[in-house]
Amino acid sequence: MKSRALLFVILTCGFCAAAEAQTRTPAPRPAPPRRPAINERVFFSAGLLFQINSNDFTDTATIRRNAEDGRLETAYDVGGGLAFDVSGSYLVWKNLAVGVGLTLFSASTTTTIDAQVPHPFFFNQARTVTGEVTGDRSETAVHVQARWLVPLDNKMTFTIFGGPSFFKVEQDIVSDFQFLESYPFDTATFSGAIAASQSESAVGVNVGGDIAYFFSPNVGVGGTAQYSAATVEMAVPSGTADVKAGGLQVGGGVRLRF
C-alpha cells in the first residue's frame, strides 16, 4: 500500500514538472548588434602611393648603313616610384557611392642601346655599338569608380572600389643613335641618341580597397591598395610597340568625410 502511494506521489510530481516546463516561455535571444549607419554623404582622400611593378619594353629594328642592313635594339627600363593620388566620392544609395580619382606618376627611365653597324668597306663585318641614355616617363590616370562603403564601427570604414580608367602616357622614345668611327673603321663608339617625347592615351580598368580610421568625426587617415592598368601604342623604329601603364600601387594619406 505504501509503495503504491509513493509511486503515485512521484508520478504526480513528474507530471506537474512537465506541465510547468511546457508552459514556461523561453528567454528571448539577444538582438544582433546593428552595424553603424553611414551619416556622411561626401568623402575625400589624398596621399602618396608607391607603384611596385615595372613596365619595361623593348624594340628591335632594321637600320640601313653603308649599303647594308644593320640592327638597332632598344630596351626601356621603366621602374616603379612614387605617385600622387586624390579622389572624391558622393553617397548615392545606402552604402554605394560614386566618385572620381586622379593618379599622377612620373619617373626617370634608362634606355639601353645595342646596335650592329655595317662596316663601310666590308660586308658582313658589322661593328657593335652600345650605350645608355636617360629619359622621362609620366602617367596621368583618371579613375571613374563605384565605391561600396562598409563601416566597421564609428571610427573605421572599409571601402572597395572599381571602374574604368583613362590613361595618358608620355615617354621619351629613341628613334636613332650617333656614333664615332675612324680609319680603318673596324670599331665604332656610341656618342649619343636621338629621342623625342611621345604622348598616347588608352582606356583601362582599376580596382582596389581602402581602410580608413577617423580620429575625429570628419578627419582621419587611411591606407590604400589599388591596381590600375592600360596599354598604349607608341611609334618606335620598328613600327609600333605596346607600352603598359599603371600597375599595383600601395600607400596612404588623409581622409575626410562630411
Task: State mean pLDDT over 50-66.
Answer: 96
Q: Would the pLDDT of 6 be above 50?
A: no
Report the distance separating Cα 107 and Cα 247, nearest Å: 14
- Confidence category of residue 110, pLDDT binned at 50, 70, 90: very high
Domains assigned to the chain: 38-257 (2.40.160.20)
Residue with cell 593618379: 103
Q: Say what the pLDDT of residue 30 is.
A: 61
Give me the chain's average pLDDT, please: 90
At residue 26, the pLDDT reads: 55
Give the CA distances from residue 242 to residues 18, 55, 74, 83, 234, in Å, rounded to whole numbers and listed in that order: 81, 10, 14, 22, 7
Confidence of residue 150 (pLDDT cuts 50, 70, 90): very high
What confidence tier does 37 reach under pLDDT thresholds 50, 70, 90?
Answer: confident
What pTM did the predictor assign? 0.83
Residue 125, CA distances (Å) to 36, 70, 177, 179, 205 in order: 77, 10, 19, 16, 49
Q: How far apart are CA 167 and CA 230, in angstroms?
A: 7
In this structure, what C-alpha cell is assigned to residue 234? Answer: 607608341
pLDDT reported for residue 44 = 98
Residue 258 has pLDDT above 70, yes or no: yes
The pLDDT confidence band at residue 243, using thresholds 50, 70 and 90, is: very high
What is the pLDDT confidence band of residue 31, given thresholds at 50, 70 and 90? Answer: low
